[in-house]
Amino acid sequence: MTGIIDYGAGNLKSLCNTLEAIGADQKLIRQPDDLDGIKTIIFPGVGAFGDCARHLENQELINPLREWIQQDRPFLGICIGFQMLFEGSDESPGCSGLGVLPGQVVRFPDIPGMKVPHMGWNQVHLKDEDDHAWDGLGKSPYFYFVHSYFPQPVNESIIASTTPYGNSFVSSVRRGQLLATQFHPEKSQSAGFRLIRNFLQETSS
């Protein structure tokens, strides 16, 4: 059973449709008791860092999510679900994330001719294309992005991919059974379907 974090503002419909298409059982997670019987958590998202953090606090999900990740249980974070893994964000000063990965979420710099938010299809340059999560995707697959902020991990060994936009930024991280992406696999057609299927197959074994 795959649990989807529902903090009131995530892009749940596209993700639920993707999971249904690949035959994955799913359940929405709105409170700690909803985690019972869950094998894998997917934390999708759109919206502001601070709003997301406040919703998770109100739902009493902060500590359960930290414990889940610290125990290296299967977790896939998407967009804001990626950013929330870090300590804080320039988008919401003074607001803490889950803090399970050292680092800060920063805004794209102002560069002439570069639009912010970064929106649309872009290449993802993989650090380890032999990672099972990327099976069948090649060395530089395209995924769909929409964001103005991105994390800067302190520990560079967890960086799974980078993407060029002005300068190169971290577009995904990998640590044990944790995978998190700045792009939206649920909006990335066949490449996104394959990534999610790969991850669920890997973590179900």
In eight-state DSSP terms, residue 108 is P
Tokens of 154: 């302190």
Q: Are strands 142-147 and 149-153 parallel, antiparallel or unpaired?
A: unpaired
Mean pLDDT of 13-41: 94
- As a whole-number percent, the residues of the chain with pLDDT over 90 amount to 88
Q: What is the pLDDT of residues 103-116, one digit of tens each?
A: 999 999 988 889 99
List the catalytic residues: 79, 184, 186
pLDDT (0 to 100) of residue 10: 62
163 contacts 124 by C-beta, under 8 angstroms: yes
Q: What is the pLDDT of residues 120-174, one digit of tens each?
A: 999 999 999 999 999 999 999 999 999 999 999 999 999 999 999 989 999 999 9
Residue with tokens 């700690």: 32
Number of domains present in the structure of the chain: 1
- Residue range(s) defining the domain that contains residue 156: 2-204
Tokens of 141: 């697959």
**What's the whole-model pTM score?**
0.96
Q: What is the pLDDT of residues 38-68, one digit of tens each?
A: 999 999 988 899 999 999 999 999 999 999 9
pLDDT (0 to 100) of residue 78: 97
CATH number at residue 162: 3.40.50.880
Tokens of 205: 């074994």
